[in-house]
Amino acid sequence: MKIAKSGIVMVLSTVISFIVFGGVLVSESVAEFLYPYAAGAKEVSLNNLNPYLDKDGTADGAFGDKTQTVDEEGTVSESEKEREFIETEKIPEGSLPITSYTITPGDYLDGVDGVYIINEDNVSFSLEKLLEDPFAVKFEKNKEPEVLIVHTHATESYNEYYSNYYYKDNDYRDTDNEKNVVHIGSIVAKKLEEAGISVIHSEAQHDNPNYNKSYTNSNETIRKYLDQYSSIKLVLDIHRDTLISDNGTKYRPITKINGKDVAQIMLLMGAGNDTYPNEVWEKNLSLAANIQKNAQQLYPDLMRPILLRDSRYNQHLLAGSMLVEIGTCANTLEEAERAAEYFCEVLLKTLD
């Protein structure tokens, strides 16, 4: 893992010793591993930087180089009231660091047309076939609802202070729908509606007050709308992620687009398992792969590699379902807003 800053390259191999559950990097995005019926399950690992390691176990290539230009006094100028994350800034006592990276595929991953999939489920599929014969979602734009946006973890929120540190008592949860991922979903809904696509955006907080029933609750919401509107062709479950290492460092996945900081996005896809099957997982994965392909052409580094797991995240309910992780809790709301807009552009290109 190489970070370039002011001409100095620092190798941070120790960051690969991650924590909490079996020495992996923990994400809070998925609470119930075999949803929708695994009540009471604990938070589990969603993202693990180990898949980004090279074959020899090193971190080279795990992240793109991060560079930062400062003036002679070592400061970064403000732009549109947004301050750059200054890694030389003193971390206040009692706080923990936030570090910025551009996440790119590890050398061990085999990609096609810029598409990389971390196959944690070890299911068999042909990425070439998924891209050559894509699952098609075609919008009719006839005023009937064609997209459903939900938020299984609606209260997930972002870093408000443009700082390079955080305090452990900050859980990055907010019931204010102007500050959490519901706001990000509103941006996606608006962009799609501007393109003539009718959208239902559920603002229900499925994780409030009982986090452990989040996926059960969102399952009921999705079923309700699918039963009511046979015209729905696409279900987007929009989240934000968390990446944290064993020393408490939180990671801010970031890229630059048109000179602005933009949160990176990850598509989490579920192939199901023997107990909770998902018969449409290949169609969903094909859609995700083609979104990733178009994103690579339009905005390289906007998307992190797709993560495929042996859960289903309610994606069995409709062919045309995705879980979209827009940034992490270390990203700012503004960075997530920009990411949502670019994601919509990629999505519309894919479904055109």
Residues 222-249 pLDDT 10s: 999 999 999 999 999 999 999 999 989 9
What pLDDT is stored for residue 86 in this prediction?
A: 64
Cβ partners under 8 Å of residue 70, min gap 6 = 6, 76, 86
pLDDT at 73 over 50: no
Q: In the predicted model, what is the mean pLDDT of residues 178-207?
A: 98
pLDDT at 88 over 90: no
- For residues 151 and 26, the model is more confident at 151
Q: Residue 170: CA atoms inside 13 Å, Cβ hemisphere, count?
A: 18
Q: Residue 311: CA atoms inside 13 Å, Cβ hemisphere, count?
A: 22
Comparing 26-30, 69-73, 121-125, the range with the smallest average pLDDT is: 26-30
**How much of the chain exceeds pLDDT 90, in percent?**
70
The residue to which tokens 């098609």 are assigned: 136
Helix axes 181-194, 333-351, angle to 10 degrees: 40
Q: What is the mean pLDDT of the chain?
A: 80
β pairing state of 199-201 and 234-241? unpaired
Comparing 102-111, 192-201, 314-323, the range with the smallest average pLDDT is: 102-111
Q: What is the CATH number of domain 2-351?
A: 3.40.630.40
The helix or strand, by DSSP H or E, that contains position 192, with its residue range, turns out to be helix 181-194
Q: In the predicted model, what is the mean pLDDT of residues 51-79?
A: 36
Backbone angles phi, psi at 239, to 5 degrees: -125, 180
Please state, as a whole number, how many other Cβ atoms lie within 10 Å of the Cβ of residue 260: 13
B/e letters for 224-258, b = 16+ CB within 10 Å, e = fewer, are ebeeeeeebbbbbbbbbbbbbbbeebbbbbbbebe
What pLDDT is stored for residue 107 in this prediction?
A: 85
Please state, as a whole number, how many other Cβ atoms lie within 10 Å of the Cβ of residue 327: 31
Angle, alpha carbons 227-267-152 (nearest 5°): 45
**pLDDT tens figures, 26-56:** 343 332 222 222 222 222 233 333 333 333 3
What pLDDT is stored for residue 276 in this prediction?
A: 95
What pLDDT is stored for residue 144 in this prediction?
A: 96
At 352, is the pLDDT very low, low, confident or very high (cuts 50, 70, 90)?
Answer: confident
Q: Where do the domains of the chain lie?
A: 2-351
pLDDT at 89 over 80: no
At 91, is the pLDDT very low, low, confident or very high (cuts 50, 70, 90)?
Answer: confident
At 87, is the pLDDT very low, low, confident or very high (cuts 50, 70, 90)?
Answer: low
At 162, is the pLDDT very low, low, confident or very high (cuts 50, 70, 90)?
Answer: confident
What pLDDT is stored for residue 160 in this prediction?
A: 87
Contact criterion met (CB below 8 Å) for 303 and 295: yes
The Cα-based distances of 126 to 68, 90, 112, 132, 318 in angstroms read: 39, 48, 10, 10, 21
At 163, is the pLDDT very low, low, confident or very high (cuts 50, 70, 90)?
Answer: confident
> DSSP letter string over 251-265?
EEEEEEETTEEEE-E
> DSSP letter string over 79-117?
BTTB----TTSPPPTTEEEEEEEEE---TT---BTTB-E
pLDDT at 308 over 80: yes
On whether the pTM is more than 0.75, the answer is: yes
